[in-house]
Chain A
Amino acid sequence: MTISRREFLKVGGAGISVSLLFSDLLKGDLIANPSARKILVIVQLAGGNDSLNTFIPYTDRRYNQARPTLALHDEAVLKVDDRFAFHSSMQPLKELYDQGRLAFVNGVGFPSLDRSHFRCRNVWQTADESAGPAAKGQLGWLGRYADAYLSSGATAVTTFAVGGREPLGLTSRTVSGTSIISPEVFSTSTDLVIDPRDPSDIEPYKAALFEIYGQQKQPGDVDLIRTRGRAAFEAVDLFKQLGPASMASYPNSRLGRTLQLIARIAAADIGTAIVWIAVDGFDTHGLQATTHSKLLGDVSSSLLAFQQDLNARRLADNVVVLAWSEFGRRVFENGNLGTDHGKAGTVFLIGNRVKGGAYGDVPDLSDLDDGDLKTRIDFRSVYWTVIEDWLSHDPLPVLQRRFENLGFMQRAGRVRAIRH
């Protein structure tokens, strides 16, 4: 007797044979969600990345004048053309740019950017300017996307987050994904440990646990916990399918290990469609030069290694990376050899299906907003473009208003299935 997973979860697990894995009933009925063949990896550069020192208008004299100690010199930067250069630590990303795989979009923000970490990151994650600093009960933009397009066929691993707790950006009504604090705890956060002292007790124990979690009860918090518990057991089984890490040369950093794990998840094709990675440390108020350099170096090498890993696994057509930060930083450096919170910043995207290049105008350092870069492109246009051209869905139900398509994605035709 086979029953679909949805039926199982609705009716309750009465009568499971003790020897089954939780999802043994579901094998063969796990329909790979077509969208899951395309994976979107969000990289959140938390703290407010100094985009002016990342994608640098190096030929603008005002840049050097505003940053007597922090401005990078002509010889050090990695020149793109006669307007832009990359920070000297970004050679790996420059390589991707030269291959046409990296797009960066300047002047991205929203009209009411107010330099508050809490509020701005909530606005970015909900795509809703009315979001306040304490975003209770709100849905993320990718949560709304998941509700609209990933609900049927969603598994416990349809969305996957690493770093901090469940990100607001993924908070969804119907899709409850998996999130872990760091890649180092992946195996202990995704496996069930049972006292092996009496091996004969393990199966009766699991049977009791799964049966109690399989029951259908009154809606409420307890039932929500029950649902997430079922998702936990499902995730345990799905993650057992991961193959080994590749030999690609990831840096020995948390981000490197995270992306190495993501490549394994992508290759296993267990239904993960959206990945969210949070990278800390970008709030560089003081002694920015070395800190920022190290961060950009790590981000660049990790993302290049990730691309190379995907290439080797023949998955590079199936993944797009989008990196964002809650705001850019002020044009003038402060008195502590660092920079304070600013407004508009730069987002960048990486992938085979990205139309590489520079988008948006060169930052105009003569036309500032109270010392900050002006917003010229609404961040929701970036989301619009990704949903429409990469995920191939109508963005309107997600963003609730029309935004411009910025043209940095190749119109995605059919993508080859991950398993071949």
Chain B
Amino acid sequence: MSIVWNEENAAHLFRRAGFGGTTDEIRQALADGLEGSVDKLLHYQSQPNDLLELRLARLNLYLKSDGKLSDLARWWLVRMIFTARPLEERMTLFWLNHFATAYEKVLHIGWLKSENNTIRENCLGTFRSLLFAVAQDPAMMYWLDTWQNTKTNPNENFGREILELFTLGVGHYSEADVRAAARSFTGWSINGNDSIFQFNSDDHDFSEKTFLGQVGTWNGTDIIRMVCSESAHAQFMAAKLFSYFAYSDPEPAVVDRLARLYLDFDTNLTVLVRAILTSEEMYSAKSLWRKIKSPIEHVVIPSRQLLLADDVDNAFQYLVQEGQTPFDPPDVSGWDDGLSWISPATLLNRMNFADALSRQFDPRGFTKGEGIGSPAELVDFYLRRLGPVPLPGESKAKLMKYVSPNGDIPTGEKLVIKQRGLVRLILSLPEWQML
């Protein structure tokens, strides 16, 4: 394997497969090697998460049906920032954008939290079991009208989106397949009292359907089994996960290799993700620092890396203003990514968030014992903690000049103010918006 396992690559792994690595995590990763680090991230079940659960319990958020979206969003943000299982949260975030479900229609905080947990529990098992769990999830069933889909009044919403967006993609099924899928899912409903799945056989169409060329008296479970066996699905899922972790528009040979592996192991996501995270492509020039941080990422990553004691106050408002309200994607196709996150207004929001974060950051504890003696050392220290951010010399010089116009390292209160300002500046840099 020709991947050089250095700080840059380890930080890249933690940025993409988690939400940024702390100094300790990166140091440990360098000791564990690439494969060891990836395996640790993947096999998080052996990593206790009680500190997170303790923190969440102390927050005591009201997350029942009539709770507030801002509280549910906070619950999720706190998980992403303070988890001991970064890849678990990373996968949950990925799947919530894949099975995009919107608060705007569902309006039930308890159901949305439950869907989030269901996805978390199934995020790295087989895709088939994940899809099954999501298809029977009350929030999803309400969102895509599964519960209203009956023999006498079929509703194609879920039948269409499961094929178009969740498993195969446009071009790999026909309108007739959509109708057959819809008929197969009839009778799938919600028990409102217990907020769980319920099958109403009276509403189910038990007759024969032709789906993807196969004839049978299919039900929803059969449809899920059949789509997961399609090579078009393997291609679709391999390409999407690769694009998420490494880079968009992967080479066909790469997708083929991953798709074959995925099907050989019966849609096993751990196998697929492991292959992606240990591939040479993952650490190539096409991959490093080439994505754009989404709003959630620019909030969570520095919170982790600067070891903030608490989540930033009102982080939710910044996310709303930048167009990424947690639990409320614009529609079932999820959020767009990339440069569409960056506009003059959203950049101002990022800079203003950086200001809010810097007010909650205590530099005194952070630089203790680091032996920083000059503006250059201070700038390098923070660029490394928040990256390491590849910054041209010209820009670094301006950061140094901000820290100290005359070249002497500030002291006391002045040093505290300058460090906060430096953090604010780095988080506002064009280069730092990259992922």
Where the two chains meet, the residues of A that have a C-beta atom closer than 8 Å to any C-beta of B are 117-118, 133-134, 156, 164-166, 176-181, 185, 188-195, 197-198, 201, 204-205, 207-209, 211-213, 215, 217, 221-226, 228-229, 231-232, 234-236, 335
Please measure, in the bound complex, the distance between the C-alpha atom of A11 and the C-alpha atom of B370, giving whole angstroms: 39
The reply to whether B425 and A222 contact each other, CB–CB distance below 8 Å, is: no
Residues on B with beta carbons closer than 8 Å to the beta carbon of A236: 348
The reply to whether A188 and B344 contact each other, CB–CB distance below 8 Å, is: no
Max count, chain B CB within 10 A of own CB: residue among A118, A190, A221: A221
Please measure, in the bound complex, the distance between the C-alpha atom of A225 and the C-alpha atom of B417, giving whole angstroms: 27
**B43 in the interface, Cβ–Cβ < 8 Å?**
no
Please measure, in the bound complex, the distance between the C-alpha atom of A164 and the C-alpha atom of B339, giving whole angstroms: 15
Name A230's closest neighbour in chain B (CB-CB).
B344
Max count, chain A CB within 10 A of own CB: residue among B333, B347, B428, B434: B347
The reply to whether A208 and B401 contact each other, CB–CB distance below 8 Å, is: yes
Residues on B with beta carbons closer than 8 Å to the beta carbon of A207: 402
| Neighbour of A189 across the interface among B336, B345, B356, B399, CB < 8 A | B345
| Neighbour of B344 across the interface among A185, A204, A222, A235, CB < 8 A | A235
Residues on B with beta carbons closer than 8 Å to the beta carbon of A185: 321
The reply to whether A232 and B345 contact each other, CB–CB distance below 8 Å, is: yes
Which of B179-187, B193-201, B390-398 is found at the contact surface with chain A? Answer: B390-398
The digit string for B376-401, where 1 denotes a CB below 8 A from any CB of A, is 00000000000000001011001101
The reply to whether A221 and B434 contact each other, CB–CB distance below 8 Å, is: yes
Given A215-B394, A222-B430: A232 and B425 within 8 A (CB)? Answer: no
| Neighbour of B345 across the interface among A179, A211, A224, CB < 8 A | A179
Please measure, in the bound complex, the distance between the C-alpha atom of A224 and the C-alpha atom of B433, giving whole angstroms: 11
In the complex, how many angstroms separate the beta carbon of A171 from the nearest chain B beta carbon? 9
Given A190-B345, A232-B348: A225 and B433 within 8 A (CB)? Answer: yes
Given A208-B401, A224-B339, A229-B430: A193 and B352 within 8 A (CB)? Answer: yes
The reply to whether B392 and A217 contact each other, CB–CB distance below 8 Å, is: yes
The reply to whether B347 and A232 contact each other, CB–CB distance below 8 Å, is: yes
The reply to whether A335 and B344 contact each other, CB–CB distance below 8 Å, is: no
Given A179-B343, A180-B345: A209 and B428 within 8 A (CB)? Answer: yes
In the complex, how many angstroms separate the beta carbon of B49 from the nearest chain A beta carbon? 34
The reply to whether A204 and B405 contact each other, CB–CB distance below 8 Å, is: yes
In the complex, how many angstroms separate the beta carbon of A131 from the nearest chain B beta carbon? 14
Please measure, in the bound complex, the distance between the C-alpha atom of A221 and the C-alpha atom of B359, giving whole angstroms: 29
In the complex, how many angstroms separate the beta carbon of B399 from the nearest chain A beta carbon? 7
Residues on B with beta carbons closer than 8 Å to the beta carbon of A212: 395, 398-399, 425, 429-430
Residues on A with beta carbons closer than 8 Å to the beta carbon of B429: 212
Name A232's closest neighbour in chain B (CB-CB).
B344
Max count, chain B CB within 10 A of own CB: residue among A133, A224, A232, A335: A232
Residues on B with beta carbons closer than 8 Å to the beta carbon of A231: 344
The reply to whether B399 and A181 contact each other, CB–CB distance below 8 Å, is: no
The reply to whether A189 and B348 contact each other, CB–CB distance below 8 Å, is: yes
Please measure, in the bound complex, the distance between the C-alpha atom of A335 and the C-alpha atom of B322, giving whole angstroms: 38
Task: Return the 10 tightest CB-CB contacts between A and B, nearest first.
Answer: A232-B344, A208-B402, A225-B430, A189-B345, A231-B344, A193-B352, A226-B430, A165-B323, A232-B347, A198-B417
Interface of B is mostly: helix
Residues on B with beta carbons closer than 8 Å to the beta carbon of A209: 351, 425, 428
> Given known contacts A117-B331, A195-B420, what 10 new A-B pairs fall within 8 Å (CB)?
A179-B345, A193-B351, A193-B352, A195-B355, A195-B359, A208-B399, A208-B402, A222-B433, A229-B347, A232-B347
Please measure, in the bound complex, the distance between the C-alpha atom of A156 and the C-alpha atom of B348, giving whole angstroms: 13
Residues on A with beta carbons closer than 8 Å to the beta carbon of B106: none
| Neighbour of B421 across the interface among A133, A166, A201, CB < 8 A | A201
The digit string for B407-424, where 1 denotes a CB below 8 A from any CB of A, is 000000000011011001
Please measure, in the bound complex, the distance between the C-alpha atom of A176 and the C-alpha atom of B347, giving whole angstroms: 13
Please measure, in the bound complex, the distance between the C-alpha atom of A152 and the C-alpha atom of B364, giving whole angstroms: 49
**B340 in the interface, Cβ–Cβ < 8 Å?**
yes
**B172 in the interface, Cβ–Cβ < 8 Å?**
no
The reply to whether A192 and B351 contact each other, CB–CB distance below 8 Å, is: yes
The reply to whether A221 and B339 contact each other, CB–CB distance below 8 Å, is: yes
**B290 in the interface, Cβ–Cβ < 8 Å?**
yes
The reply to whether A208 and B425 contact each other, CB–CB distance below 8 Å, is: yes
| A-B contact list, 14 entries, CB within 8 Å | A180-B321, A185-B321, A188-B349, A189-B346, A189-B348, A190-B348, A193-B355, A201-B417, A205-B424, A205-B425, A221-B339, A221-B434, A225-B292, A234-B344
Please measure, in the bound complex, the distance between the C-alpha atom of A333 and the C-alpha atom of B331, giving whole angstroms: 25
In the complex, how many angstroms separate the beta carbon of A193 from the nearest chain B beta carbon? 4
The reply to whether B344 and A205 contact each other, CB–CB distance below 8 Å, is: no
The reply to whether A134 and B333 contact each other, CB–CB distance below 8 Å, is: yes
**B37 in the interface, Cβ–Cβ < 8 Å?**
no
Please measure, in the bound complex, the distance between the C-alpha atom of A212 and the C-alpha atom of B351, giving whole angstroms: 14
The reply to whether B339 and A165 contact each other, CB–CB distance below 8 Å, is: no
Residues on B with beta carbons closer than 8 Å to the beta carbon of A176: 343-344
Please measure, in the bound complex, the distance between the C-alpha atom of A164 and the C-alpha atom of B345, giving whole angstroms: 12
In the complex, how many angstroms separate the beta carbon of B182 from the nearest chain A beta carbon? 15
Max count, chain A CB within 10 A of own CB: residue among B323, B342, B418: B342
Name the interface residues of B308-323: CB closer than 8 Å to any CB of A: 320-323
Please measure, in the bound complex, the distance between the C-alpha atom of A191 and the C-alpha atom of B352, giving whole angstroms: 9
Residues on A with beta carbons closer than 8 Å to the beta carbon of B434: 221-222
Max count, chain B CB within 10 A of own CB: residue among A176, A181, A207: A181
In the complex, how many angstroms separate the beta carbon of A188 from the nearest chain B beta carbon? 7
**B280 in the interface, Cβ–Cβ < 8 Å?**
no
The reply to whether B430 and A223 contact each other, CB–CB distance below 8 Å, is: yes
Please measure, in the bound complex, the distance between the C-alpha atom of A205 and the C-alpha atom of B333, giving whole angstroms: 40
Please measure, in the bound complex, the distance between the C-alpha atom of A280 and the C-alpha atom of B349, giving whole angstroms: 24
Residues on B with beta carbons closer than 8 Å to the beta carbon of A117: 331
Name A135's closest neighbour in chain B (CB-CB).
B336
Residues on B with beta carbons closer than 8 Å to the beta carbon of A234: 344
Name A211's closest neighbour in chain B (CB-CB).
B398
Please measure, in the bound complex, the distance between the C-alpha atom of A209 and the C-alpha atom of B424, giving whole angstroms: 10
**B358 in the interface, Cβ–Cβ < 8 Å?**
yes
Please measure, in the bound complex, the distance between the C-alpha atom of A208 and the C-alpha atom of B391, giving whole angstroms: 14
**B47 in the interface, Cβ–Cβ < 8 Å?**
no
The reply to whether B344 and A178 contact each other, CB–CB distance below 8 Å, is: yes
Residues on A with beta carbons closer than 8 Å to the beta carbon of B343: 165-166, 176, 178-179, 228
| Neighbour of A213 across the interface among B356, B420, B430, CB < 8 A | B430
Please measure, in the bound complex, the distance between the C-alpha atom of A177 and the C-alpha atom of B431, giving whole angstroms: 21
Please measure, in the bound complex, the distance between the C-alpha atom of A213 and the C-alpha atom of B395, giving whole angstroms: 9
**B46 in the interface, Cβ–Cβ < 8 Å?**
no
**B153 in the interface, Cβ–Cβ < 8 Å?**
yes
In the complex, how many angstroms separate the beta carbon of A233 from the nearest chain B beta carbon? 8
The reply to whether B395 and A181 contact each other, CB–CB distance below 8 Å, is: no
Max count, chain B CB within 10 A of own CB: residue among A133, A209, A226: A209
Given A205-B402, A222-B434: A228 and B395 within 8 A (CB)? Answer: no
The reply to whether A205 and B421 contact each other, CB–CB distance below 8 Å, is: yes
The digit string for B324-365, where 1 denotes a CB below 8 A from any CB of A, is 000000110100100110111111110110011011000000
In the complex, how many angstroms separate the beta carbon of B2 from the nearest chain A beta carbon? 26
The reply to whether A224 and B352 contact each other, CB–CB distance below 8 Å, is: no
Name A166's closest neighbour in chain B (CB-CB).
B343
In the complex, how many angstroms separate the beta carbon of B405 from the nearest chain A beta carbon? 7
| Neighbour of A208 across the interface among B292, B331, B339, B398, CB < 8 A | B398
| Neighbour of B348 across the interface among A181, A192, A204, A211, CB < 8 A | A192
In the complex, how many angstroms separate the beta carbon of B113 from the nearest chain A beta carbon? 24
Residues on B with beta carbons closer than 8 Å to the beta carbon of A204: 402, 405
The reply to whether A189 and B349 contact each other, CB–CB distance below 8 Å, is: yes
Residues on A with beta carbons closer than 8 Å to the beta carbon of B323: 164-165, 181
The reply to whether B355 and A189 contact each other, CB–CB distance below 8 Å, is: no
In the complex, how many angstroms separate the beta carbon of A285 from the nearest chain B beta carbon? 10
In the complex, how many angstroms separate the beta carbon of A167 from the nearest chain B beta carbon? 11
In the complex, how many angstroms separate the beta carbon of B332 from the nearest chain A beta carbon? 10
